Amino acid sequence: MVHAGRKGLLLLPRTIVATVAIAAASPGQWGPVAASTPPSARSGAFAGYDAANGRVLLFGGNFGNETWSYQAASYQGGVWTQLQPANVPPARTRAAMATDVPQGRLVLYGGTGATSPTTLDDTWIWTGSDWQQLAPTSTPGGRDRHAMAYDLTRDTVVLFGGRNNLLQPQQALADTFEFANGTWTPVVSPHTPPGLAEPAMAYLPSLAQVVLFGGVDSNGLGSDQTWAFDGSDWTQLALTGPRPPARYGARLEANLARSVLVLVGGRDATTLAIVNDTWEFDGVAWREIANVYGGLYPPRAEFACAHDLGRDRLVVFGGSNATGFAQADTYEFGAHFQPFGLTCTGSAGAVQLVPVAPPRLANVCRVDVVNLPPAVPLAAFAIGLSRQQWAGGSLPFLLTGLGLTGCRAYTSAELIVPLLASNGVASWTFPFPNQASLLGNAYHVQGLSLDPGWNPAGLVTSNAATLVVGY
């Protein structure tokens, strides 16, 4: 912020922000969100998008049969609600669910049952208000740890692999089934991936195919192969360059805005260590992306993950950490506003940052500074690339010695943008261009306002926040 003998006060045009942005942090947009009334901690749950109601739906995990919805209240969080449908599938874990987009429903199949544990072979659909069990003439047979994805091109659900014998848990399946018009049909293809349990699978629009990655085979070896299925045959993609290390229990979901698949989490089959990296696949190559917040923390496997089509964001809940304990936190992949630091109390109360519009590409971001003195017409907004250091000093630092009693500086303040204030509120807005190099960049922001006579400096500061540019 303002510190005598360091940088002083920089009043720069807000158009310069785009120039500074290119030098900011590399992409990575996983962040925890404030989610009220969440489900209890669990692993082995599964999730999909309830298009009829514009929400994420979660079922099962930890051998339970609860149905939960996640309705985002804003880009930075939402509300979990336990639903009470009239019909409920039996309790299970490690099932699979796919979002049938045209029909606005979810398809659930299999899993490990809770009573006299066995692999299940039942098919259920979520209609938007209730579960409905179907009675297809044939099924893929009882199994768990399989993968399912909806093929938008061919309007069908694709199922691959898993395990069907709890007495021989290492035995992995290599069969493919399709579900359409209420019927499961086996697919006999010239080529196929090896038998795999807990692979990750999703539909990639740019390929118009279902893509599969990872899993663990019958010998306990993890896979780092990438396969694509076009409806008649599987093809192992001959990719050059880096690719994700072998793993199982990861999740693969589509980011439709960028036409890429996002791979996150899972477990190394050799060391059994949880991997906490994030990768993107565009149909040609894999690319690892850095995580601004360190990814999903703690790292996890067997978590619920779904693509929120209404907001084009990925939502994660729960999973097992490195020591096997289940989690009860919610993460999202996209634009983020993460507040941190203490507020500074001025004459009108605690000066705070309030998010109004997220930092998204091709959209106008807005953050308000509130509880300013009503009569003060001028405030400022500090934008920095660091929250640890500024001009050789450590952040945060206390500004009491400069006359800002009880206030702190939290950001490196490469830019300080003047703002007009009215009725105790000042708004910072910035139109982020549709520029891919900005995606995932992180900025640390803080408000500053005149407050004559309140302290020796006549200035007060707000708390701070980290903005991560998303889609």
Domain boundaries, the chain: 14-24+337-468, 30-334
Tell me, what's the pLDDT at 6? 30
Low-confidence spans in the chain with pLDDT less than 50: 1-27
What 3-state DSSP class applies to 16? Answer: helix
Tell me, what's the pLDDT at 17? 41
Q: For residue 185, which of 146, 147, 119, 231 has the smallest C-alpha distance?
A: 231
Tell me, what's the pLDDT at 1? 38
Tell me, what's the pLDDT at 360? 84
Question: Does 14-24+337-468 match 30-334 in CATH topology?
Answer: no
Tell me, what's the pLDDT at 74? 61
Tell me, what's the pLDDT at 148? 98
What 3-state DSSP class applies to 243? Answer: coil
Reading across the β-sheet that carries 105-109, which strands appear in turn?
96-100, 105-109, 123-126, 131-134
The dihedral sign for the CA sequence 72, 73, 77, 78: negative
Residue 40 carries which DSSP code? P
Q: For residue 358, which of 33, 80, 62 has the smallest C-alpha distance?
A: 33
Largest CA distance in the chain: 81
Q: For 121-206, where are the E strands, in sequence order? A: 123-126, 131-134, 147-151, 156-160, 176-180, 183-187, 200-204
Main-chain phi, psi angles of 20, to 5 degrees: -65, -35
Tell me, what's the pLDDT at 26? 36
User: Other C-beta atoms within 10 Å of 464: how many?
Assistant: 26
| Domain 30-334 part of CATH 2.120.10.80 | yes
Query: According to CATH, what is the number of the domain 14-24+337-468?
Result: 2.60.40
Q: Counting runs of H as helices and runs of E as strands, what totals does the chain give?
A: 1, 40
Q: Are 428 and 382 in contact (CB under 8 A)?
A: no
| Residue in this structure with the two tokens 């894999």, named with its chain if needed | 286
Tell me, what's the pLDDT at 145? 96
Residue 208 burial by Cβ neighbours in a 10 Å radius (0-12, 13-18, 19+): middle
